[in-house]
Amino acid sequence: MTNKKITLGVLREWPVPGRADPRILMSIMGDSWEPMLCDKARRLRYFSATDPEDPHVPLVRLGATGPFVFQHHELLDQRFKPDTAVRDKLWQRLVMEQMAVLPQPGFVAVNGDRIEARTGADRIYVETVDCRPLTELTGSTGPPVTAVLVEGVDVGFVAVFVEGGVRVASQNPHVVRLLGGSSDRLLPVAQWDEFVRALGSRPLPVGVVKAAQIPGRDLGSALLSQSGAHILKPRFGSNGFGVVRIVSRADGRLAAESDCPDTAQYLEDFPCDPAQCGRDLIAGVATQRTRFVDRAGPGVPEQLLDFSILEDEIRQDRTGGAIFEPRVVVQRTSDGPGAFAVLGAICKEIETAVGASVARDFREDHLEHSLGRFLRGRVPANDLTARVKQTCEEILATGDQIRAALVPLVEARGAHVHQFGIDSRLCWNDEKDRAECHFLEFQFGIGRIDPSVLKQGGLVGYRSPKELDAQFGADRG
């Protein structure tokens, strides 16, 4: 979270009705005040905190439930089947963001070679708001207003001009003190002027966390302005295909690499223009997938190929040259709603250079065995067995928590699946002296699990996709 203190207050007219950002409406309107404010919208003055570095980008307040999450129907173009959403990697990221069970990288939706507008991953702490501009509302020279709103009734105040005075409500302790200890009070006009002058005498303590809404921009230009590595991958399709690792180099150019053979060949053959500094290459990767992928392989309709998701790269804490990615296996137990259970977990050990193509070039093992290799050398030898057991139990418990929350969402989308994996990547947290799992994606329909792993046990009750289809009908969605 960016620890930014914003002390700039801006007095502005209410946006044109119907065109206001719904996230702003959600952040500032309480249920009981919304009808009154909407009725007086044409004469409402909205007093807001803005970022002086980018005053035209609204700051959206984060409520107790966390960042705004898109409604499911907003995730896909209406031309596509609604039940495809569960396989949409953006939908999966948003679901995990709402669950807040596992850490995950920052991410944005990409349409063609443009990053779509979004609520940013950066959190901005707003400590105080300067209320001095509110003095414009006092006396006969003030603008003709019927309502005033400062941030929200819980952290600022809302005031509506009614017959006999001004009705003011707030949950902000500083404002409540100015109202004589009341959280909802009708002030005579003269007292309203005194109230406003008292507010303007010092900054209003707000203390809220907000998120900046980042406008859409060109993908290549955005990446050039960022440091570090990012992963660009299709929002739809099987793991591995079309996944590209992009690095903004110190010399001001973009470099791209992939473990996917078809994609790697495309990158090698692309006629880059040196003046573009790699922007043309990245745009080609994002918009020309029909040229380097067999659509039958990932199973993606052509009209979906230009939809991508850009993610910060999850740190690669390798052991013996391998990245470790646990998969918690969840399987249907009966044909009733919500009838799923966690069978256990396996772990992929990936030794490819990029480590972002998990459809090939990896080996599988029981989670306990892989955890032993990952933790060896990171924890005391005499504590290794206990730490492996503890970490394994934590991963399975988290998987069961995700299962309970995810299954109703999947069924609500109309999807009928029998088996899925909860994929994550193991990282080592030096400060906490422990392993952590960072969420990768949900894999609906596990194609196969290494037979040698199944023979060793550990996934009691596991059934192949063919066996599950025979009992419960074919997967759909």
Q: Kindly state the average pLDDT of the residues 381-409.
A: 96
Closest CA to 278 of 244, 303, 308, 311: 244
Residue 190 has pLDDT above 70, yes or no: yes
Q: What is the pLDDT of residue 183?
A: 86
Give the CATH fold of the 323-472 domain: D-amino Acid Aminotransferase; Chain A, domain 1 (3.30.470)
Burial degree of 216 (CB within 10 A; 0-12, 13-18, 19+): middle
The reported pLDDT for the residue numbered 333 is 93
Region of poorest pLDDT, from 82-96, 327-341, 388-402: 82-96
Confidence of residue 386 (pLDDT cuts 50, 70, 90): very high
Express as a percent the part of the chain with pLDDT over 70.
70
259-287 tens-digit pLDDT:
888 888 899 999 999 999 999 999 999 99
Average pLDDT, rounded, for the chain: 78
Q: Which among 69, 203, 32 is positioned nearest to 132, based on CA atoms?
A: 203
Distance CA 206, CA 147 (A): 20
| Domain locations along the chain | 9-66+124-213, 72-119+215-312, 323-472
Q: What is the pLDDT of residues 318-371, one digit of tens each?
A: 999 999 999 999 999 988 888 999 999 999 999 888 876 555 678 899 999 999
- Model confidence over 306-315: pLDDT tens digits? 899 999 999 9
- Cβ-proximal residues to 440 (8 Å cutoff; 6+ apart), any chain: 314, 325, 358, 423, 424, 425
Contact 317, 426 (CB under 8 A): yes
pLDDT computed for residue 415 by the predictor: 86
pLDDT surpasses 80 at 230: yes
For residue 200, what pLDDT band results from cuts at 50, 70 and 90?
A: confident
Backbone angles phi, psi at 123, to 5 degrees: -105, 135
Asked whether residue 388 carries a pLDDT value surpassing 90, the answer given is yes
For the cut 60, the answer to whether the pLDDT of residue 19 exceeds it is no
What is the band of 446 on the pLDDT scale with cuts at 50, 70, 90?
confident
Phi and psi, residue 277, nearest 5°:
55, 25
- β-pairing verdict for 419-429 and 434-444: antiparallel
pLDDT digit string, tens, across residues 150-182? 666 666 777 877 778 888 888 788 888 999 999
pLDDT of residue 78: 35
Average pLDDT over residues 29-40: 55
| Nearest-angstrom CA–CA distance, 392 and 400 | 12
Question: Cα–Cα distance between 157 and 167 in angstroms, integer?
Answer: 10
Higher pLDDT, 284 or 9: 284
More confident residue, 68 or 361: 361
**394/465 Cα distance (integer angstroms):** 27
Query: pLDDT tens across 99-144, in order?
Result: 889 999 888 889 899 887 554 555 667 777 777 766 666 654 444 4
User: What was the pLDDT predicted at 47?
Assistant: 57
Q: What is the pLDDT at residue 160?
A: 78
Q: How far apart are CA 276 and CA 30, in angstroms?
A: 49
| Residue 204 pLDDT class (50, 70, 90 cuts) | confident
What DSSP assignment string belongs to 281-312? HHHHHHH-GGGT--TTTTT--GGGTTEEEEEE
